Amino acid sequence: MHVPPDSIESLQQLATVWRATVTDRDAGADTRDLPGITVRWADCRFPFWNCAMLTDIGPDAALLARRLHEAAGIMRAKERPGFLWVFEDLLDDTARAALPAAARRAGLEHAFPGTGMAADLPDLPEPAHPDLTFVRVATEEHLRAYADINARAYGLPLEDGRDGLAGSTLWKHQVYAYLGIRGGGDGEPVTCAATLEADGRLFVLLVATAPGWERRGYGEAVTRKALYEGALATGVTRAVLHATAAGAPVYPRIGFRPNSAVGFFGLES
């Protein structure tokens, strides 16, 4: 089977960037690279920092079933819930068709869909939005605002979001993280996006817009800002991201193209 190089790039970028984000949360985080499964698990309250991913290229249905059972076992051994990421374009046709039933047999349930995307953005203009002032995350107050926007956007308790970012030196100093503030610098933070350079790419992280402020172009504008500043600082113009269904229509307007469907699975409740 032919596996698109962009799909492999998407998986590799996730593994690299998530090692940095989970060890930032917990220096002793589980970052094992096992046969067919990569673990990046901080075991914190923010579920996106608790991640396992399948890494076999072209597994058949039998191997997929085994990996799903192994991954579910790893997830059950953790204190906090998280997600198994399955890059569907890395599966052969039999495995892809078998995925829903095999996941159920392993005790996993589909949580939500995503899409891997990538872009080359050599001439991204400096962004602006008439409603927004952009502020780079540099303080604990900024981190809390960033975490709260994500928590509200994903329907999480605020404390869960804050547990993912509070006290982070990575996010204050290495991540190009921006808040979009409505009403000037002292106004209300309503949207956020970030990029982190890894292996010659900018990885787009935790884009969110607070409920009630969607469909105003805020998410696109702040994502452009994070990309623009990340590229300006690093010289990197290749970018990778993983979009939720809500965000997927936004990124092609910036120049991203889809490469792999991604299924997010959690343990059955």
Specify the DSSP element, H or E, that contains 6.
helix 5-25
| 33 falls within a domain | yes
Classify residue 66: in a domain, yes or no.
yes
In the chain, which residues have pLDDT < 70?
1, 185
pLDDT of residue 220: 97
Q: What is the structure's pLDDT at 185?
A: 66
Q: Does any domain span residue 173?
A: yes
| Residues 136 and 202 occupy one common structural domain | yes
**Same domain membership, residue 162 and residue 96:** no
Tell me: do 106 and 155 sit in the same domain.
no
Give domain status of residue 123, yes or no. no
24 and 54 belong to one structural domain? yes
Residues 1-14: tens digit of each pLDDT: 677 889 999 999 99
Task: Write out pLDDT tens, residues 209-248.
Answer: 999 999 999 999 999 999 999 999 999 999 999 999 988 9
In a domain, 246, yes or no: no
Which pLDDT score, from 0 to 100, does residue 9 have? 96
Give me the number of domains the chain comprises: 2
| Long-range interactions of 76-80: CB distance < 8 A, separation 24+ | 76/107, 76/267, 78/30, 78/41, 78/43, 78/50, 79/43, 80/43, 80/44, 80/45, 80/47, 80/50
pLDDT for position 183: 85
Judge if 144 and 99 occupy the same domain: no
How confident is the model at residue 269, as a pLDDT?
84
pLDDT of 179-191, one tens digit each?
Answer: 999 987 679 999 9
For residue 1, the model assigns a pLDDT of 65
Residue 138 in any domain: the answer is yes
Asked if residue 221 belongs to a domain, the reply is yes
What's the pLDDT at 186? 79
Per the prediction, the chain carries an average pLDDT of 96
Which tokens in the block code for residue 134? 């952009």
Instruction: Answer yes or no: is 245 within a domain.
Output: no
Q: Identify whether residues 52 and 95 lie together within a single domain.
A: yes
Q: Which domain holds residue 48?
A: 5-117+262-267
